């Protein structure tokens, strides 16, 4: 078991060294065989990760293995076991996809050497058993990502945005390094299990400038996660990192950008004693989710649209952490990684299909006269309104009752059910806007699909929570830490409900005004579109601040000559 535990992160690392040597010394002779060797080792790494997960499920015990020094230890628990399989599996798919995609690109062997180093770093991060190994792997991910995004050294844009990403990642490294130092000074060990046990035994034993150690460390870990997972306002690097190769984009959005969700779960025992930081995580995640989802709608580049989609999904993941549903965030992380990686790898095919067919629906007259099909119609708005409000509520409530066997007990579960209701209602409302030959059949299919997805999602998430956090005291403690006073909770729910309903009403008015040709509605939509298309001027603010900093540095250089 210990040998297998060490093999998981070190096998891709050994592959990186081997590929780098072979690619540098024998690139011309080996040619594409470098990729074949890399793919072979990635398959072996996935097999080792899958065997490790199966072994843990069979044994059911966490294992910590140290190298004998202060660092270099690995830790096998439910989180590292499941994340190892996900990372190794996605990396294996990207390796296979890159064989043909990168075949005509210069630096073919160098690309696979960097890709192997990235895979090794991520696997080392999820399996790290001590703070030094965790911080080192966390830093190496940013270094390898910088070189992968700037793989094409002749493109100015790729080099610029690679550095932008590197700079943001370094901002996220500093809080994590400081958190590691504070924990070591307090407990005298780098071992993560030992630190968490000591913190649980005496959570109020140490302070930092009068603040509780748990609060300070939780805040620092959250800041590191904000930078790594593109949370507002540190999100600007993500949509502009699409200049890198498509396999890199797939790996980044399927695994690298999810590191924030992982690091929050790794330090879950700390967040049990820091509810205020969980509230901050919830607020930042909510703003990020809304901005990412809105900005995605105005993009004319498919990869950039997927980038903002990832930003929105990361926001939802942080919302789940903020309400105490840490296991749900990991489940969201895995599901998002699988489908977003697939979307990036299939983006080229989508572009090709769009060139052959624009996908713009024809007018009703064309459909009736040329295609000989009846004109599309909608359900009455009153029927659609009742379905929009009642159906998602009934489906979510019934699914939760079947799984948990009782009423909702935690505020976090209520918040998640609320957002689930909003999402389901939005889906039905969007379906109503679509015209169809048989609108009743279309609505029925959407409702059935929603019921299947919600029921499956609820059932899987419940069992996944039992697997990831078998210690129910820890899970219940996270929900309790994320709770707020009931009066404040009621106010927040009322405000969010009012905001959602107001948004629906504004969208309905804008669409009705556009269809009726009213200039006021059209102008409002154009103003809103202009604001969103400029990405709420966040990037412009950063550009202006950069110009101010450069101007001040020039003045300081001039003044320094006279000193």
Phi and psi torsions of 63, nearest 5°: -130, 140
Count how many domains the chain has: 3
Burial class for 204, CB neighbours closer than 10 Å (0-12, 13-18, 19+):
exposed
For residue range 501-553, what is the model confidence (pLDDT) as tens digits?
Answer: 676 666 666 666 655 555 555 666 677 777 777 777 787 787 788 888 888 88
Q: Is residue 272 part of a domain?
A: yes
pLDDT of residue 456: 64
Q: Does a structural domain hold residue 536? A: no
> Average pLDDT, whole number, for the chain?
75
pLDDT at position 365 over 50: no
CA distance 243 to 540: 20
Q: Answer for the pair 129, 73: CB distance below 8 angstroms, yes or no.
A: yes
Q: CA separation (Å) from 409 to 394, 493, 496?
A: 18, 16, 20
Does some domain include residue 365? no
Q: Are residues 278 and 388 in the same domain?
A: no
Residue 155 lies in a domain: no
Residue 445 lies in a domain: yes
Residue 427 falls within a domain, yes or no?
A: yes
Do 97 and 212 lie in a common domain? no
Q: Which residue has the higher pLDDT, 358 or 90?
A: 90
Which residues make Cβ contacts (< 8 Å) with residue 470, sequence separation at least 6?
78
SS3 category, 377: strand
Average pLDDT estimate for 281-288: 88
Final residue belonging to a domain, choices 129, 153, 176: 129
pLDDT tens-digit readout, 146-197 = 888 887 777 777 777 888 888 888 888 899 999 999 999 988 888 888 888 8
217 domain residue, yes or no: yes
Same domain, 22 and 107: yes
Q: What is the pLDDT of residue 370?
A: 47
Residue predicted with more confidence, 112 or 354: 112
Given this model, what pLDDT does residue 181 score?
92
Judgement on whether residues 86 and 191 belong to the same structural domain of the protein = no
**pLDDT computed for residue 516 by the predictor:** 58
Mean pLDDT, residues 254-271 taken together: 86
182 shares a domain with 267: yes
Asked if 389 and 519 sit in the same domain, the reply is: yes
The CA-atom distances, in angstroms, between 5 and each of 49, 116, 124, 247, 509 are 9, 18, 11, 28, 59
SS3 417: helix
Same domain (yes/no): 380, 274: no
Element (H, E) at 527: helix 519-533
168 and 300 both lie in a single domain: yes
CA distance 259 to 238: 14
Average pLDDT over residues 469-478: 80
pLDDT at residue 436 greater than cutoff 70: no
Helix axes 108-127, 2-25, angle to 10 degrees: 160
pLDDT digits (tens, 9 = 90+) for 210-240: 888 888 999 999 999 998 888 888 888 887 7
Q: Using 50, 70 and 90 to split pLDDT, how confident is the model at 100?
A: confident
List, for residues 35-62, the tens digit of each pLDDT value.
787 888 788 888 878 877 887 777 777 7
Q: Domain check: are 184 and 96 in the same one?
A: no
Is residue 554, in this structure, part of any structural domain at all? no
Calpha distance 307→198 (Å, rounded):
40
172/316 same-domain check: yes
Sole residue written with tokens 């989802």? 293
Backbone angles phi, psi at 420, to 5 degrees: -65, -40
- How much is the average pLDDT of 69-87? 81
Most distant CA atoms of the chain, gap in Å: 85
Quote the pLDDT of residue 63.
76
Answer yes or no: do 492 and 390 share one domain: yes
Quick one: 356 and 441 in the same domain? no
List the one residue out of 140, 129, 113 whose CA is nearest residue 24: 113
The whole domain housing 198 covers 162-360
């Amino acid at each position: 078991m210990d040998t297998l535990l060490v093999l998981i992160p070190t096998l891709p690392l050994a592959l990186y060294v081997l590929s780098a040597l072979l690619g540098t010394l024998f690139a011309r002779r080996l040619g594409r065989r470098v990729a074949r060797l890399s793919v072979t080792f990635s398959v072996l790494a996935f097999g080792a990760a899958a065997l490790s997960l199966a072994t843990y499920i069979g044994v059911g015990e966490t294992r910590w293995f140290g190298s004998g020094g202060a660092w270099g230890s690995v830790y096998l628990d439910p989180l590292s076991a499941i994340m190892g399989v996900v990372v190794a599996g996605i990396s294996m798919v990207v390796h296979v996809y890159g064989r043909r995609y990168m075949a005509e690109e210069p630096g073919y062997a160098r690309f696979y050497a960097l890709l192997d180093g990235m895979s090794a770093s991520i696997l080392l991060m999820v399996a790290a058993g001590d703070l030094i190994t965790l911080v080192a792997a966390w830093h190496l991910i940013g270094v390898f990502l910088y070189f992968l995004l700037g793989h094409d050294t002749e493109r100015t844009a790729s080099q610029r945005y690679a550095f932008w990403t590197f700079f943001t990642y370094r901002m996220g490294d500093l809080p994590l390094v400081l958190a590691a130092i504070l924990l070591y000074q307090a407990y005298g060990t780098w071992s993560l299990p030992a630190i968490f046990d000591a913190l649980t035994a005496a959570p109020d034993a140490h302070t930092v400038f009068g603040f509780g150690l748990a609060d300070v460390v939780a805040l620092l870990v959250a800041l590191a996660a904000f930078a790594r997972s593109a949370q507002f306002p540190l999100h600007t690097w993500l949509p502009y990192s699409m200049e890198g190769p498509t396999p890199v984009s797939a790996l980044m959005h399927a695994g690298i950008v999810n590191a924030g969700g992982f690091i929050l779960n790794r330090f879950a025992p700390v967040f049990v004693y820091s509810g205020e930081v969980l509230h901050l995580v919830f607020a930042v995640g909510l703003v990020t989710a809304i901005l990412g989802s809105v900005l995605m709608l105005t993009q004319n580049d498919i990869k950039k649209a997927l980038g903002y989609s990832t930003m929105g999904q990361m926001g939802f993941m942080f919302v789940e952490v903020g309400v105490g549903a840490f296991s749900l965030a990991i489940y969201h992380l895995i599901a998002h990684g699988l489908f977003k990686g697939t979307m990036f790898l299939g983006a080229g095919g989508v572009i090709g299909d769009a060139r052959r067919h624009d996908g713009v629906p024809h007018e009703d007259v064309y459909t009736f006269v040329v295609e000989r099909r009846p004109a599309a119609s909608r359900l009455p708005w009153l029927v659609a309104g009742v379905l929009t409000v009642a159906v998602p509520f009934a489906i979510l409530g019934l699914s939760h009752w079947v799984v948990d066997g009782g009423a909702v007990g935690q505020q976090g579960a209520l918040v998640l059910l609320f957002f689930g209701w909003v999402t389901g209602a939005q889906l039905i409302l969007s379906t109503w806007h679509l015209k169809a030959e048989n609108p009743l059949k279309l609505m029925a299919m959407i409702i059935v699909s929603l019921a299947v997805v919600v029921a499956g999602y609820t059932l899987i998430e419940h069992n996944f929570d039992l697997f990831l956090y078998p210690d129910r005291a820890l899970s219940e403690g996270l929900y309790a830490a994320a709770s707020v006073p009931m009066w404040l909770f009621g106010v927040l729910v009322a405000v969010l409900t009012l905001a959602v309903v107001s948004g629906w009403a504004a969208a309905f008015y804008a669409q009705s005004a556009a269809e009726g040709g009213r200039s006021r509605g059209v102008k409002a939509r154009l103003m809103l579109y202009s604001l969103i298309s400029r990405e709420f001027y966040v990037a412009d603010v950063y550009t202006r601040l950069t110009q101010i900093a450069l101007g001040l540095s020039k003045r300081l250089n001039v003044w320094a000559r006279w000193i």
